[in-house]
Chain A
Amino acid sequence: MSAGIDLDNVVCDFGSFRAVDHVNVSIQPGEFFSFLGPSGCGKTTILRMISGFIEPTQGVIRIGGKDMRGQRPNQRPTALIFQNLALFPLMPVWENISFGLEVRGVDKAKRRARAEELLALVDLPGAGDKMISQLSGGQKQRVAIARALAVEPSVMLLDEPLSALDLKLRQNMRAELRAIQKRTGVTFVFITHDQGEALAMSDRVGVMSQGKLQQGANPRDIYNNPVNGFVASFVGENNVLTGGVSAPAAGFATMDTPHGRFRARIADGVSGTGVKLYVRPEHTAISDTAAPENSVPVTISEVAFEGNFIAVHAVSDSGMTFLSEIRNDGAATVPAIGSKLHVSFDPARAAILPDAASAKG
């Protein structure tokens, strides 16, 4: 039932503005794939190209191996869930859900029965005769999902559907969407600017910036092994050190910065001065004594106890502020503000990365 999607060198221009720049990605049948990026990165354009509202300027989009060129949205095996849901306010819930079947000429009794089935699937049994305005935000969300599922699409496209919900509901809906996806086996393409959402829900995440797909990988690789500075800093927090690289060997290099000399993993093709080293706050350690390498003497300037972790701001003698997160395992000590300590990190947990793949590159 579900189908894969291939984007083959897809380009989309709006006048002189290149919204999507040579994107190549193969989404597997039944996969939960998220496009993650800041607003204006081209992710919504990709979604609208897959659903057929925009034709690519160049390149081919295939769904289930079939070239979609010239196919209108109503001819494609996709169903789109809009950011504002776009439910039909003048129809009761069940007519909303069965609208796609009405279009296909299914008779009323069957439509009604199917709507009830789908309402049960999305955990809203008996809500068929309600009007859309009588539903809460989360319930509307479910109706939108049911409406899209009713046409038995091979591909579900979701355009930031959770962004309008409050935090608690959003977290519930994450799990629910994931469960519905597993139950139905339909390919889900999900658009979001919320990294937590993308990492928690997806089989794979495609991080986008300036129309380019920066990295497409599973959530662990996106977070642990970002391919460039954009991915590293868009997904999660980082301490960034700038300096000159020397002596790369076996994937590691030494970097000289105004704050000291550091050793870290290095990506291919990075060399010279002005390059950046990224290390995540939770990969740093704070200790009384200096570590043998990658260690900086600091003064603690700010401490925030967050419950499950302790966020520490520490300023080095050279003026750089390090952010360090210490996991609260119950025995962790909270460093005192003003105390002189050392920040250090494991070379294998830090990476020297190129900047983002730019629109030109």
Chain B
Amino acid sequence: MQEMMKRYGGALTAIILLLTTFWILVLLILPNLTMFESSFRPYLPVLDIGGPKDTYSLGNYMNIFGGEVPMSIFGIDVMVSARVKIFILTVFYSIVVTVIAFLLAYPLSFYLAKVVSPKSLPTLFLLLFVPLWVSEVLRSFAWYVILTLKGPLNGILMQIGLIEREIRWIEGYSPVVITLVYAYVLFMLFPLFNAMQSLDSNQIEAAEDLGSPWWRTHWRIILPHAKPGIASGAVMVFMLSAGSLLVPAIIGSTSGNWFTQTIQGVMLEEQNWNGGAAFAFLLLIVCTLIVVLAMRVFRVKLSDIAK
């Protein structure tokens, strides 16, 4: 604080602090608090707002239930409401996206951090970054084109003889999963790369010198060291995926709805902001709980992620 005063002078420090406070308070905390408050109030005609019917309840949250449809969870057939089904599938496929992103990012970040010569690193990073210069909308549409029935992906796979008939990619949740992995894999890659780069290469060599085969070196030395990076990457990819609206809206098939689309429907089509707010908080709360649970299971501390 004193350091800041010395460097920028009183006036500038005041402006910086004021703007930051404004951003956090007015643009972040207040809207969320308003949303949180309104999520407990019923959706009423304007005249009734503030009237006797305007009382706090969990009604909006309970709206997720109702309208039972069949669903199979790990082979067990149950009846759940349509919205709960979409909610569960959204969370499940967000986890799938996170796992696939990890499986792709781990070898790539190891290659970048420990194998490739530091001289070619800037070029490789540029190649990774270039797609980010294109808007997410365009990139999602690009995947739509790639994945269509008569599209380039099926064409190439048929050409090299891997498949005999076109695969219907845009069906169920696969297009959303594919595009989300593509959109967010870098959020996994960079923390992983950072974590691996901070590993002393001598440790890898020491393990090999002691007779360790490559897979054991990864399992016992590199993976544990990269754990904080994996954790922060996984939290990022999982939260972004579960909260993504654009990708499922563009590329999602009718049989692969994302819960964010449900929220959007309630808010914009039903014009029920109270109900939408409740659903949005439901998603946030459940996702946060899953992250906390995963951190417990994998023994990751919050301070590890913040690194």
Residues of the B chain whose Cβ atoms lie less than 8 Å from the Cβ of A173? none
| B199-229 contact mask (Cβ, 8 Å, vs A): 1 or 0 | 0101101111111110010001100110000
Binds B, one of A75-83, A235-243, A305-313, A318-326: A75-83
Interface string of A313-349 (1 = CB under 8 A from B): 0000000000000000000000000000000000000
Shortest B60–chain A CB gap in Å is 46
- A86 lies within 8 A of B208 (CB): no
Task: Determine whether the beta carbon of B205 is less than 8 Å from that of A86.
Answer: yes
In contact, A80 and B206 (Cβ under 8 angstroms): yes
Please state if A80 and B209 are interface contacts (CB–CB under 8 Å).
Answer: yes
Please judge, given known A-B contacts A88-B221, A99-B220, A103-B216, whether A74 and B209 are in contact too, CB under 8 Å.
yes
Docked pose: A99 CA to B200 CA in angstroms:
17
In the assembled complex, A128 has its CB within 8 A of some CB on chain B: no
Interface residues of A in 20-79 (CB under 8 A from B): 51-53, 72-75, 78-79
In the complex formed, the residue of A with least CB distance to B204 is: A86
Closest to B227 in A: A90
How many chain B residues have a CB neighbour from A under 8 Å?
A: 17
- A88-B221, A103-B213 given; A74·B208 CB < 8 A: yes
Q: Name A82's closest neighbour in chain B (CB-CB).
A: B202
**Is the beta-carbon distance between A88 and B209 smaller than 8 angstroms?**
no
Pick from A86, A87, A103: contact of B211, CB below 8 A: A103
Given contacts A88-B221, A90-B224, A90-B225, contact A99 B203 (CB under 8 A): no
**Residues of B contacting A82 in the complex (Cβ-Cβ under 8 angstroms):** 202, 205-206
Cβ of B207 and Cβ of A99 under 8 Å apart?
Answer: yes
Residues of B within 8 A of A103 (CB): 210-213, 216
Q: For the complex, is A151 an interface residue (Cβ under 8 Å from B)?
A: yes
Closest 5 CB pairs of A and B: A86-B202, A100-B210, A86-B206, A103-B211, A74-B211
The distance in angstroms between the C-alpha atoms of A91 and B211, with both chains bound, is 17
Q: How far does the alpha carbon of A103 sit from the alpha carbon of B207 in the complex, in Å? A: 9
Interface, chain B (partner A; CB < 8 A): 200, 202-203, 205-213, 216, 220-221, 224-225
**Residues of chain A at interface, number, CB under 8 A:** 26
A151/B210 in contact, CB under 8 A:
yes
Pick 22 A–B contacts, CB within 8 A, sort by A.
A52-B209, A72-B208, A74-B209, A74-B213, A75-B211, A78-B209, A80-B205, A83-B202, A84-B200, A86-B200, A86-B202, A86-B203, A87-B206, A88-B203, A88-B207, A90-B225, A99-B220, A100-B210, A103-B212, A103-B216, A148-B210, A151-B211
- Contact A74–B212 (Cβ < 8 Å): yes
Could you say which residues of chain A place their CB within 8 Å of the CB of B212?
Answer: 74, 99-100, 103
**By the criterion CB–CB under 8 Å, are A73 and B209 in contact?**
yes
A151 — which chain B residues lie within 8 A by C-beta?
210-211
Known: A74-B209, A80-B209. 19 other contacts (CB 8 A): A51-B209, A73-B205, A74-B211, A74-B213, A75-B211, A80-B205, A80-B206, A82-B202, A82-B206, A84-B200, A84-B202, A86-B200, A86-B202, A86-B203, A88-B203, A88-B206, A88-B207, A100-B211, A103-B210
